[in-house]
Amino acid sequence: MTDSMNALQAAVLGVVEGLTEFLPVSSTGHLTIVESLLGLKVDDDGVTAFTAVIQVGAILAVILFFRAEIIRMVTAVVRGIRDPEERRSLDFRLAMYVVAGTIPAGIIGLAAQKLVEGPLRSLYIVGASLVIWSGAMWWAEKHGRQERGEAQLTLRDGVVVGLSQVLAVLFPGVSRSGATISTALWLGVDRVAATRLSFFLAIPILLAAGVLELPKALHPAADATQIGAGNLLIGTVVSFAVGYAAVAWLLRFVASNSIAKFVPYRVVVGVVVLVSVAAGWIDAT
């Protein structure tokens, strides 16, 4: 008999998505862990599609939170089509950096989609990635000069930071925000500017992923977990509400705190996951 998701499972996963999408702890990793604890098959087509779709709720929270900045960037791009002077503005440049960072990451993500939804969606990968990337986050905070603000960002920053999202796409547990913020810190960008750039880069790639997976979530294969439109709506709305609060909190946090403070939590969770899977307490997939 084919399994079905219920409203409580959808709401719980919405909370997890909203809380973890923008924190450097890996939303996909946490969703995979919680899905397993809820008795869902984590590499199931219906479940992976649900995970991608409810990310849209968190992204809509970012769009609402940064609506003024986003409107300015879009306006600058439109004006910049005819006005060369407008192309020198910070808003125009930021928009171009987001585009430059999104295109290669999107191409690689699409090319590796089957791999991501299959062999790499394993709690072994989640646990190992949580632990290993923690070292990268610690190194970035310790050695990153953090001497450049948002006005000093370059096209190279947008491309390199954007490409780092691929690591999070391929290896659930790395964390998209953890990868992008850490990479920006390595490049000498200050923590607040790095976090804001991470938010902006998330919008196109996660929106696209959600839209692409929506048909599969609404009409999963006969042998996949059945989601239902109501559960998709519940998960998305909950992730939006919780995500908005998480965005506001994280921006305040990084203004005066190191992202390395998330490292002990990541390591503990990663080790617990690896031990639990190795002991057979939870299934890897």
Two tokens, residue 59: 């992204």
C-alpha to C-alpha distance for 78 and 65, rounded to whole angstroms: 22
Token pair belonging to 94? 């930021």
Q: Percent of the chain at pLDDT above 70?
A: 98
Alpha carbon separation from 115 to 112, 121, 260 (Å, rounded): 5, 8, 30
Taking the C-alpha atoms of residue 178 and residue 262, their distance in angstroms, rounded to an integer, is 10
pLDDT of residue 194: 96
- Reported as a single tens digit per residue, the pLDDT across 225-263 is 889 899 999 999 999 999 999 999 999 999 899 999 999
Question: 39: buried, middle or exposed (CB in 10 Å: 19+, 13-18, 0-12)?
Answer: exposed
What are the structural domain ranges in the chain? 7-278
pLDDT of residue 1: 37
Report CA 204 to chain centroid distance, whole Å.
11
**Tell me: the pLDDT tens digits for 92-119?**
999 999 999 998 888 887 787 677 666 7
pLDDT of amino acid 117:
64
Which parts of the chain sit beneath pLDDT 50?
A: 1
